[in-house]
Structure 1
Amino acid sequence: MSGDLALGVDVGTSGARAALIGRDGATVAEARAAMTEAGDDRRAPAVWEGAVALALARLGAIADLGRVGALAVDATSGTVLALDAGGAPVGAALMYDDAVDDPAIPARIAQLAPRESAAHGTASALARALVLARRAGVARIAHQADWIADLFSGPGGPSDESNALKTGYDPVARRWPDWLAALPFDPALLPQVIAAGAPRGVVSAQAARRFGLPQGAAVVAGVTDGCASFLATGAGAPGDGVSALGTTLTLKLLSDKPVFAPEYGIYSHRIGAMWLAGGASNTGGGVIAAHFPPERLAALSARIDPAQDSGLDYYPLLKPGERFPVSDPALPPRLAPRPEDESRFLHGVLEGIARIEAQGYARLAELGAPRLKTLRSVGGGAANPVWTAMRARIMGVATAPAQSESAAAGVARLALPHLARV
């Protein structure tokens, strides 16, 4: 059936993914291309473009792209590039992890920006935008997701409220703030900003020929890669939380109001009428990996009763320092006493991380977000059923399976409302 699928395009650090989802949100097909297949320079927009084209070609080989009715794009948060009047890149992009060498730039931003702004620091997207604005021939500053979306709908398209956050956009007032005019650049270089999921154009004739997509299919504003990963899980109501159990522990909670607490590293992305608040702890899988060989985790976990306390009071960290749910740069790891029984030691570590997770959601609620109601988990730790049961007990909430962990599938959800009705 023509126009009954939504397409999501995710541009990450290592590659590009493209996913098709149906009206029910289920993934129909997905394909990937590594950045290195398109080139060696991760800062070259042509390499991003090549990876996207490869991913779409592979997707088209296993699914009918002619069924796409709408699409959306996500990309790395904080990656920006300079464009000329025709929408072509002016030099290499500055990536999300590129720090600004000129200390005067973040210092000036610090003088002007409100405390709760996400534009502070040497690695802020706004600081990088000021560096890019110095290049000759620059007519516009764009975020990575903006430029990728322009490949489908044509140059000069708007940005979205999620990607614009770290560039200084005020998501509460829903505009670029007046203090930007006091910075050493022209704020007119910044793009128009629209809500995530709002229409930003349609697939052009040129893009239809190149990518095999239907001309005129809707192109809607996307989000950052982190927000897209949240959407992929199926979370969609206030109080829905998603914990990413990777090397570190990242919590995200859907809220009906914004939460900003820079002392804890907490900011809120606006996604339509909702807000996505989150924070990251230094605890997580990195601590587990430092103490337990991965091949032994399953056997050790099987000996743990998740309904019982370990009797240990741990705060698992690799080194001193924590930002969320407590802000203490000198907070020491607490992993003593260490029992001789390795299974009990693992019990204490997993329990300690779960308590930090519970404290994190409690901190978000204390700052104005709703209380955690349902919990979804992604990342390597989500595959441990003993830990999942332990975490559910400690937090006292229902757990739900993540529908997907694919950011491409997540951003495609923003396009679903724009599919033609049948």
Structure 2
Amino acid sequence: MTRDLYLAIDVGTGGLRAALVGRDGRILALSHREHEQIVPQFGWSEQRPADWWAGTRAVVRAVLDEVDAAASRVAAICTCGQMHGTVLIDDAGALTRDTVPLWNDKRTAPQVAGFAARTDPAEVLRLTANLPATAWPAFKLAWLAENDPQALARASSVLMPKDWINFCLTGRCAQDVTEASLSFLMDCRTRKWSDEMCALTGVDRALLPDLHAPQDILGPLLPQVAAELGLSADIPVLVGAGDYPLALTGSGVIAPGMGSDVTGTSTIITLMHDAPVIDPEISNVLSASGAWGAMTLLDAGGDAVRWARRAFHGNARSYAEIAADAEAANPGADKLFFLPYLSGERHHPGSRAQFFGLTAGHGLPELHRAVLEGVALAMRLRLDGLQGDAGRPERIVAASGGAKNALWLRIKASMFGVPYLVPEELECGVVGAAMLMATATGDAPDLAHAARRMVRYAHEIAPDPGWADTYNRMAPVFHRLYHTANDIYPELDNLP
């Protein structure tokens, strides 16, 4: 039997997914199983690694049952997953803590503040291409050292969520460079663990497993795992990568000159470069292709549209109806601006949202269009920093819920002067895992060849020259509004 299927596993925050993907990148079967997110108190977020492993076994068996002779056709296994969740295991491979703090767990804020107060930010930025943040595993380990020292003392390795699944599959410990690039423990220049960062953060270097490229083969399946899943024990298991960098790969964003827009509740904009962009308001992630992604997050992406639907219509109108309203307004919403900072910003938490330029002539169409354009203007403000010295990207690939709003994509394309592409398959992390497996098994010589065969785009949205002219004239005004408002927010905070 020809081994012509790739088995991809995705350890998500909301649940486990497994998929069988063909050599052409098409998903033949997909199974999902939810798992619990534990919130012991405000700002904390945990999950149980044991739940991830139970979910993995369940979804893998489910997809194997969906495709004829699937078990004998699997060529390789690759896992991606939510990043930063800090799993501790001992020498015997047993968990030293039943629960793991996740990427969105904010309990490390005191450790981040303490680190920032005693270190030189410019030097840290030079070493890691990132500044301290509550998500980074270095600070989760610092919190554990202070609050659960016994669990840390018993640990011999720290793994990320997908690494834990790999350990369960193969019995081998490893991390990959995409995860490590956002650990706050990797030297961005050498792409190796940094002894200097370990010393600055207090992390024991001995806890950190060997670093690998995502497409490296970690090992074969453990015999008992292969028997339980009904798979051959000689199937290679890849090291894999973090879910976001692998989603970039699976959307075809693999080389400098390319960009990504993932708009869900928030908006993450990533531009690919040969080297990280060193800027205090930019994070840098190493992609599976080896290129660097300069990324910035706007907290209010899709959430701004959700707010407008709730505030103006009590959620009674559909998103399609609201988009139709916005489409009825002129580009620029008749000189109406919307600053979309409904929940602050990562680097400016006191920021607020506002409409500016409102007149009696404006109605709901203009308000809704101003919300869409306001998010795009806020993205443009950050895009200039993400560019580094490389200029605008050749194209931006849209993913997540925002990719379904055609008007918004046309606004963004015109705002940035860059064509927007929408992938045919929006499960980009799964496709990215399949691309890694294609290269690891020799089915494709490299990721560029894999992308040409496995990534397809449903349609392209070109910039509208007339809209672009309007937005080019609006952008400097938005920029002044943004900075002027930031000067006023402290006074607003002090009002009774």
| Structure 2 length-normalised TM | 0.75
CA distance change for structure 1 residues 273 and 306 in 2, over 3 Å: closer, same or farther?
farther
C-alpha displacement of 1:97: 2.9
Could you say which residue in structure 2 is the equivalent of 1:415? 437
Residue 9 (structure 1) aligns with: 9
When Rg is computed on C-alpha atoms for both structures, the one with the higher figure is 2
C-alpha distance after superposition, 1:324-359 (max 9, x if no partner): xxx645544341233542112212221222223333
Which residue identity does 2:365 align to in structure 1? S
The aligned counterpart of 1:219 is: 237
Partner-residue secondary structure (3-state), 2:124: coil
Partner Cα distance (1:77, 1:290) in 2: 28
1:291 to 1:308, Cα distance in 2 relative to 1, 3 A: closer
Name the residue aligned to 1:361. Answer: 383
| Between 122-131 and 190-199, the greater mean CA deviation after superposition | 122-131
What amino acid is aligned across from residue 50 of structure 1 in structure 2?
A
Q: Which moved more, 1:378-387 or 1:181-190?
A: 181-190
C-alpha distance in structure 2 between counterparts of 1:110 and 1:177, whole Å: 20
Return the alpha-carbon distance in structure 2 between the equivalents of residues 65 and 276 of structure 1.
36
Offset, 1:178? 1.9
The reply to whether residue 247 of structure 1 matches residue 269 of structure 2 is no
Structure 1 residues 344 and 258 mapped into 2: Cα distance closer, same or farther (>3 Å)?
A: same
Pairwise CA distance, 1:408? 2.9
- Please give the residue correspondences for 1:331-346 in structure 2 after superposition, counting only pairs within 5 Å: 331-338=351-358, 339-346=361-368
SS in structure 2 at match of 1:163: helix
Match of 1:80 in 2: 86
Aligned-pair CA distance for 1:84 = 0.9
Alpha-carbon offset, residue 215 of structure 1: 1.9
Aligned-residue CA RMSD (Å) = 2.9
Aligned residues: 414
Q: Which of 347, 350, 354 is the equivalent residue of 2:369?
A: 347
Q: Secondary structure at the match of 1:148?
A: helix
What's the counterpart of residue 76 of structure 2?
70
Shift of 1:277: 2.1
* Residue in 1 that maps onto 2:297: 280
Please say if residues 199 and 221 of structure 1, whose CA atoms lie closer than 8 Å, have aligned partners that are also in contact.
yes
| Per-residue deviation, 1:20 | 1.8
Q: Which residues in structure 2 correspond to 1:175-254 (within 5 Å)?
A: 175-179=192-196, 180-181=198-199, 183-254=201-272
* 1:5-62 deviation line (CA, Å, top 9, x unaligned): 222111111210011222222222211111159xx99532211100111111111110
| Greater relative CO, 1 or 2 (CA 8 Å, sep 6+) | 1
Describe the shift of the 1:129–1:212 C-alpha distance in structure 2 as closer, same or farther (beyond 3 A).
Answer: farther
Q: Which residue of 2 aligns with 1:49?
A: 53
Counting aligned pairs with the same residue, the percent is 24
Distance 1:257 1:362 in 2: 16
- SS of the residue 2:186 aligns to: coil
Q: Residue 410 of structure 2 aligns with which residue?
A: 389
CA contact (8 A) 1:239 1:371 kept: yes
Counterpart amino acid of residue 210 in structure 2: Q
Amino acid at match of 1:77: M
Q: Which runs of 5+ in 1 are unaligned?
A: none
1:97 to 95, 104, 117: 104
Q: For the residues of structure 2 that align with 1:306 and 1:20, how far apart are their CA atoms?
A: 44
Q: Which amino acid is 2:102 matched to?
A: M
Counterpart of 1:404 (choices 425, 446, 451) is: 425
Alignment of 1:108-187 (within 5 A): 108=115, 111=118, 114-116=123-125, 117=128, 118=130, 120-132=132-144, 134=149, 135=151, 136-155=153-172, 157-167=173-183, 168-179=185-196, 180-181=198-199, 183-187=201-205
Contact persistence 1:77–1:224 (CA under 8 A): yes
Asked if structure 1 preserves the Cα contact closer than 8 Å seen for 2:263 and 2:401, the reply is yes
CA contact (8 A) 1:234 1:404 kept: no
Over 3 Å counting, the alpha-carbon distance change for 1:237 and 1:146 in structure 2 is same
- What SS does the corresponding residue of 2:356 show, helix, strand or coil? coil
User: Once the 2 structures are TM-superposed, how far is the Cα of residue 396 of structure 1 from its aligned partner?
Assistant: 1.9
The alignment partner of 2:76 has SS state of strand
Give the Å deviation of 1:188.
Answer: 0.9
Amino acid in structure 1 at the alignment position of 2:52: W
